[in-house]
Structure formats: C-alpha cells, structure tokens
A and B are shown apart, each in its own frame.
Chain A
Amino acid sequence: MPAECTIKKESMDAGHDLPGEGHKARIATFKVFRGDKNTGSEVEYKVPVEEGMVVLDAIHYIQRNISPDLAVRWNCKAAKCGSCSAEVNGKPRLMCKTRLDDFSSGEEIKVYPMKSFPVIKDLACDVSWNFEVNKKITPFTPKENTSWIMNQRDIDRVQEFRKCIECFACQNVCHVIRDHDLKPKFAGPRFFVRVAGLEMHPLDGADRLEALKNDMGIGFCNITKCCTEVCPEDIHITDNAIIPLKERVVDRYFDPVKIILRKLFVKR
C-alpha cells in the first residue's frame, strides 16, 4: 500500500503582508465548489476583506449577498464544534479558524468540500459513515466496585483524546480512506482516538483489542502521521493513540510471552 499522504498542514508563516490600515479596500478572490454528487463546477466570488476575517466569514458573506443557497455547515465559529471542515487551497482546515491574512494578497482561495466523503451539495458532504463506525465501538464500561477516585496524572493522556471535536479532517486525509476507500474495513484515526480514550480510561474494564484488530483494521495504518498533521486540536493521534494501541494488539496477538504475562496481570 502506498505510504504517502500528499496533504500537510499549512505552514503558519505564510504571507502576513497586510499590516495596519488599508485592509478594508482589499478584495479577495474565492473559488468555491458549487454542485452536488452528479455535477459541479468552481464559481468565482469577490469578497471584501475585513481585519481578522476567516474563510467562514467570506462564505457567509457570499451567502448573505450573492448566493443564499450556498450550502455549508457551521455552528460555533470558534473552532469548538468541528462542523466547518473543508479543503482550503487543497488543505483540510476548519474554515472558522483559517484567517484570510494567512494568504498573500493576490492569492486565490479555493474552497472545496472534504474529498473523502460523498458531496451532498457545495461544501456539505455526507459524513454519516463516521457515525456508523462510532456506534460499533464498545462504550465505556466501568470496572466493578470502583470508587471513582482518579488522579489527574492518570487522566491527562485520556483528556487529550477527549479534546476531539469530530471535524473528521483526519479521516479525510488518511490515505487508507482517501485513496483506497477501505471504509468498511478501517475505522480511521478519529475512532482510534476514541478507542484510545476508552482503553486508557483508568476505570474502564472492557476490552476492544480484538475489535481493533479485526473490525477496525488498525493494521492498515502504516503510521504516515498525516492525520496528526491536520488535527486542529493538536491531538498526537499517531504517537499517543495509534502506536500504543498497535502495541497492545501486537502484544496480545503476536507475542506469546506477553500473552501469558497479560493473563497474569490486570489491564492497566
């Protein structure tokens, strides 16, 4: 399986060339995908730029003033809900967190829906598959007779996983989904993060290793780290979630000594 992901997080030092006054006169050129699952084309829009404006503001400007039927998802406009993911100049971004002054002044800004999911209309795509995957994960199952006392130290790492806002940017860039469309066999980085949050919960007593290996296809991941690169929550998806999970699966299914040891000691 080819190991390369072509998409990297945009470098943040791009073109801050618009200091001080004079912004207001600036007009930015947007090329936005308009269409549905059958047909579509790129439509050009001119949008006046205000200080501190983000791509989502520009999309809203277009909606209010030019094309009221432009489909887009958003809720919080503050990078908290994960609704507004799109590909901006080919890079998966939260539109509400992508500032126009990250682009140089003459640069055209292309906004496309996430590529790995079927388009519904314009910037909205069908992400329902993710919700189906989630349903199959064994939920939190507390150990018996727990006192519910937990040390902050022991939950720090799990809290990292629980920061996930389900923007599905990681799912979108992962080549196993994007290029090979192994959707039915592979759960994707978002759900490895979720399973890691459950498996490493100090009071969880369920076991999801078999599911990880068989149903969720963690073996397909070849640690390219593209998912980590695009995560807007800066979750170390590969290092902190996927690799430790892979190790647990390997210990269980491929290392006989550890299999015996594991049987003797309780799950940490």
Chain B
Amino acid sequence: MSTLDRFEIHEHDVIVIGAGGAGLRAAIEASTNGASVGLVCKSLLGKAHTVMAEGGIAAAVANVDKQDDWQVHFKDTMKGGKFLNNWRMAQLHAQEAPERVLELERWGALFDRTNDGTILQRPFGGHTYKRLCHVGDRTGLEMIRTLQDKGVHMGIDVYMECTITKLLKDDGKISGAFGYWRENGKFVIFKAKSIILATGGVGKAYKVTSNSWEYTADGQILAYDAGAELIDTEFIQFHPTGMIWPPGVIGILVTEAVRGEGGVLKNKDGFRFMEKYDPERMELSTRDVVARSIYLENKDGRGSPHGGAFLDISHKGADYIKKKLPSMYHQFKELADVDITTGPMEVGPTCHYSMGGVKVEADTTATSIPGLFAAGEVAGGMHGANRLGGNSLSDLLVFGRRAGLHASEYAKKNSSKLKLDENEMKLAEKEMISFFERDEGENPYSVHTDLQELMQNKVGIFRIEEDLKYAIEQLKILKERAKKTKIEGSRMYNPGWHMAYDLQNMIIYSEAIAKCALQRKESRGAHSRIDYPNTDPEHGKWNSIVKKSNDGSLVIEKSPLPEMPKELQDLLKEKDLVKK
C-alpha cells in the first residue's frame, strides 16, 4: 500500500488554515471568486481568538468625527508603529477598512448606533479621532458570528478541530498540508493549489497572557519550516490592562474601551500618573507607553497592592457602564468580586499581540513561497513596532479579503496537477508519532511552564543584553527537552500530545523573539531595552528578518525598510492640526 492510500485526503483549490476573522474573511473571498475552499481550524468554528475581541474595529468611516479620513488613520498607524510599519500595508489598511466594516453590516452585523442611526465610534489609544466601530465590549463576537454565518452558506467546507503540523510542497510550490484530527488522532492530508495561513499569534509562550491555548506560533513556524521569512519578531505587545487579582484570573484582558469610555489610571497614592508620562494623551496614549508607565510606577513603589495600577470608570455611573462595558462589568463581578460601577479595578500588563510574523507582500499577502499566503495576526509588517487598539480587527478584514482574492487567483493560474511527496508525508507522520515511542521522558507541560517563566522574566516588557543572551542559551536546553517529552494515553483527543507539538513551535518562535530583541540595540514601540533606552533613528531604517538556514538553524538579518512614496512621506511630516 502506498503512503497515499493510508491517509484521508481532501482536495480543494484553496485551503485556509485558521477560522478567526482573517481566515473566515479569506475563505469568503476565495469562495466568492469561484474557488473550492476548505477551512481548517484547531478549535470549533466560532471559537477563535477573534471572538474575544472587545473594544472595536478601527475604520475611518467618520460618522462621529467628520474630519476623519484614511490619511489620518494611516498617520496614526505609522506613528503608533514608530514608523517601522510596512507603509503600503498601513496605507491599504487605512483606505479599505471603512468599506470592510460597512460590508459586515450588509452581512448582518449590528453595531451600536449614533443618534443619526449610523455606526457609532469610540475613542481609543493613539487614534486622533473617535474611530472604533463597536458593539458594547463584544465586537469580536459580532464580527466572527457575522462572518461564520456568511461563510457556512457559501459552500465552504469546514474541517473543525483539525491541527495542521506541516506544509507540503511540490517542486518548491505549495501542494498541501498535513495534520491530525483532535478527536481521534488520525492523520489527514489537504491537497491544495494555494494555502492561506490565518493562524493568529504566539502569546502562549508567556506566563501572563490574554491569549488562549491556540496561540502557539503554529502558522509562523509552518511558514518558517517551509522556507518563508519572518519579520519583526522582537515586537510583542504587552497590553497595559490585564486582570492581576485574584491569581486565577491573572492575564485576562480588560479592554482598552474602559479607557476609551473615560476610565482613569491611578497609582496607590491616587495620583493620575499618566500626567507624568504622556500629559497630552493621558490614558489614551499608545499601549507600549501605558504598559511601561504602569511598570515604572511599580518599580518606584507606587503600584497597587498586587503589582499593577488602579483603573477607575465608576464616575461614569452604573447605567452607562453596564450598557457600554457589560462584559467587563460581569467579568469583574463574577471573577474578582469587584463592582466596577462603584470602585476601581486592579490592572497590570499582559502579553497580548504579536506585531511580527510571516513576511508578506503588501498587496497580495503572498509569502516568498509560491502558493503560500498569510493574513491576520500571523502576518507581520502592518503594525510596525506597536499596534494601535482596534487596528487588528480591521487588519483581519482588509488583508483576509486580499489573501482570499490572491490565493484564489493564484490557484486559477496554477491549475496543473500537483504531486504530493510521499517522503514528506512519512516524515510528518513520523514526527507526530515519535512522542509515543519513548518509554520515558518529561511531561510536555513542565517544559511549557519553564518556557513561559523564561520568556516572561527574560524577554518581557523590559529587556537587557545579559537576560537576552541567557534566554537564548536556555532556549537551546528547552528545545532539547521538548524533543524528549513523553506522552501518556492514546492519540484520541490528547491535549498532552498536542502540547508536545505546539511546544516546538513556541520555542522556535521564542528564539526568534530573543535573537531579534538582542539585535535591536535601541528602544522602540513595544521593544524596550534597559541598556539602550533611546530610540535610534539609524535603527529605524530596517526591519528584522528571521529565516531557517540550510543547516536548520535560525538566522537573523536586517532588511532595509521599503521606500515610501513622496506623497506619503509628506503626509507624515504634516503637523497635527487637530487635538482631541
């Protein structure tokens, strides 16, 4: 029997890996463009990270502040990203976000309304105008449900609870993907002319995180292993406001909408400390600044009892809070016994988002591998050194659509028969089965705990050369340990086994974070070096690039920023005329 006969095989023009906002939007577009589409995801449909997004989608629809337009949104995004963003992605994003949001409405989404009956927008950090279209504090749920309900009626085949572990290639081009069903551990192969990665982020490598079990850098490493480049991996966003007490809830996100709706941050002396760090924008400064400010207050002994700060919205009154921030109200009431309508919340930084990721071409989302595309949090470049709140959901829609379009176009043009390589498949199978073949070894979860501890303490908000070097050494040890874990039980729905695989991805990506962080000898956006506290214009001229060398080791280099056209450069030079 040949290898092929042993496997369950599904064939599509386009396979989308990931069913969050980016994956769903991509699948819808590819299907609209006539492609047969398979959508694969690790969890059930509708449970991807996108469902958790709270605050809103940034788009210059200018319903509330009429002066807003794409140019201002572009500028805000570039400024927030400390000008390391891929300018073309930032431009397309700002230009196309309004249309993508309105399209959601035409597909049935119900955003909160202005008095005129149009989509309501709220202020958010780093956005000059009120720009975030939202539904209370459950915008992501509205978005994913709208896309999901649209998608299932288009004949897209959804493969739920299926994890992809390898991309397959034929003569350098994408030919398919290899994965396993969570339910029974059986292997499955997807044959496809093009593949879109939409697998989200990497935050599970950190101990205090708002991210779920899914965020293990799968897509990034699938691409890296296949030979694609990663970009700007040193930039990990620590959201300034996560829950910090009681211990059971540490890391759970407190949406920036609390500050958008008027919440103020105070230290233990009741002082509104953002006055000191960013008097102009105060609490609505960018996330990197607010997270660092909370950290510094604590360092100087002015933090809240559990090492954070107080965030207070109670002055807005119970009715308003329950209407605009219902899930925050319940979250604190039920998980922390705190009534946010009468008193402050205690908050502190939590690992939240990965600005870096797979390097893509701005217009098409194509990676350097023919047939491989990437969109959403898994892709890098759009947000530079720091992402503005609300710019992710819009990113998912804008580049999800573009990925779907270009991947389906690519599939049309490359209709010649692709071959699956038996050897590749055997290797992929062997890699997954090997965990069961050891009689002894560590529990993968203990290796994960140590990884999280290391990344949190040595490659966290503030970084310094000796810590980074130490982390890089320790990661080598963790990598070896991860190769020798032992799995209990069978292949049936076995989280320990899944973790053993995910761990490898997280460790490689962690190495990419640490190495690029060491290379960047300056502080910029989310990357803060204690030994290089200033932003250095020379370092603002390049992006970090990560790739796998021929001997299998991870190498990093610098790549000059793509040149920005003159009219956009002029735009960035214009003085800000408007103040909030």
Contact = CB atoms under 8 A, between A and B. Distances in A.
B145 A69 contact: no
Contacts of B444: 68
B110 to A, nearest CB: 5
A190 B89 CA distance: 39
B44 A73 contact: yes
A142 interface: yes
A79 B135 CA distance: 17
Contacts of B52: 75-76, 78, 80-81
Contacts, number: 167
Contacts of A70: 495
Given A73-B44, A99-B335, A68 B246 contact: no
A54 B108 contact: no
Contact of A71 (B102, B488, B494): B494
A9 B459 CA distance: 44
A214 interface: no
A63 B495 contact: yes
Nearest to B46: A166
Interface string A49-73: 0111110010000011101111111
B331 interface: yes
B107 interface: yes
Of the listed residues B44, B149, B245, the one surrounded by the most CB atoms of chain A closer than 10 A to its CB is: B44
B224 to A, nearest CB: 25
A70 B158 CA distance: 26
A41 to B, nearest CB: 15
Contact of B110 (A69, A142, A155): A155
Interface in A128-152: 128, 131, 134-135, 139-140, 142, 148-152
B149 A134 contact: yes
A131 B44 CA distance: 10
Interface stretch (A157-165, A181-189, A220-228, A239-247): A157-165
Contacts of B554: none
B487 interface: yes
Interface string B20-48: 00000000000000000000000111111
Interface residues of B, number: 66
Given A68-B496, A150-B117, A51 B43 contact: no
A162 B110 contact: yes
Contacts of B113: 150-152, 155
B336 interface: yes
B153 interface: yes
B248 A83 contact: no
A50 B335 contact: no
Contact of B49 (A54, A75, A134, A150): A75
Interface in B353-367: none
B497 interface: yes
A48 to B, nearest CB: 11
Contacts of B153: 135, 139
A160 B21 CA distance: 22
B116 interface: yes
Nearest to A82: B47
Interface stretch (A116-124, A172-180, A259-267): A116-124
B249 interface: yes
A134 B152 contact: yes
Contacts of A52: 245-249, 335-336
A69 B497 contact: yes
Interface in A224-256: none
Interface string B115-126: 011100000000
Given A69-B496, A151-B117, A75 B108 contact: no
B480 interface: no
Nearest to A76: B52
A87 interface: no
Interface string A198-235: 10010010000000000000000000000000000000
Given A63-B496, A71-B493, A79 B246 contact: no
B162 to A, nearest CB: 13
A45 interface: no
A77 interface: yes
Contact of A148 (B105, B145, B490): B105
Nearest to A96: B335
A10 interface: no
B495 A68 contact: yes
B340 to A, nearest CB: 15
Contacts of A99: 248, 334-335
A67 B488 contact: yes
B334 A97 contact: yes
Contacts of B212: 74-77, 81
B455 to A, nearest CB: 17
A159 B112 CA distance: 9
B245 A75 contact: no
A7 interface: no
A127 interface: yes
B489 interface: yes
Contacts of B336: 52
B145 A162 contact: yes
Given A64-B445, A155-B110, A140 B149 contact: yes
A66 B496 CA distance: 11
Contacts of A97: 334-335
A198 B106 contact: no
Interface string B315-333: 0000000000001001100
B568 interface: no
Contact of A165 (B49, B141, B330): B141
Contact of A149 (B43, B46, B116): B116
B495 A77 contact: no
Nearest to B331: A78
Contact of B117 (A71, A149, A204): A149
A150 B102 CA distance: 13
B247 A152 contact: no
A15 to B, nearest CB: 15
A139 B146 CA distance: 10
Given A78-B253, A80-B138, A68 B117 contact: no
B300 to A, nearest CB: 27
B443 interface: yes
Of the listed residues A69, A97, A135, A151, the one surrounded by the most CB atoms of chain B closer than 10 A to its CB is: A69
Contacts of B247: 50-53
B494 A69 contact: yes
Given A51-B246, A53-B248, A121-B493, 17 more contacts: A51-B248, A52-B248, A54-B248, A68-B495, A71-B494, A71-B495, A76-B51, A79-B334, A80-B51, A81-B52, A97-B335, A120-B493, A121-B183, A140-B149, A150-B110, A165-B141, A201-B110
15 contacts: A68-B444, A68-B495, A75-B48, A75-B49, A75-B213, A78-B253, A80-B140, A81-B212, A121-B183, A148-B118, A150-B113, A152-B117, A155-B113, A159-B136, A163-B138
Q: Which 8 pairs show the lowest CB-CB distances between chains A and B?
A: A52-B246, A68-B496, A140-B108, A69-B489, A149-B117, A52-B248, A71-B493, A121-B493
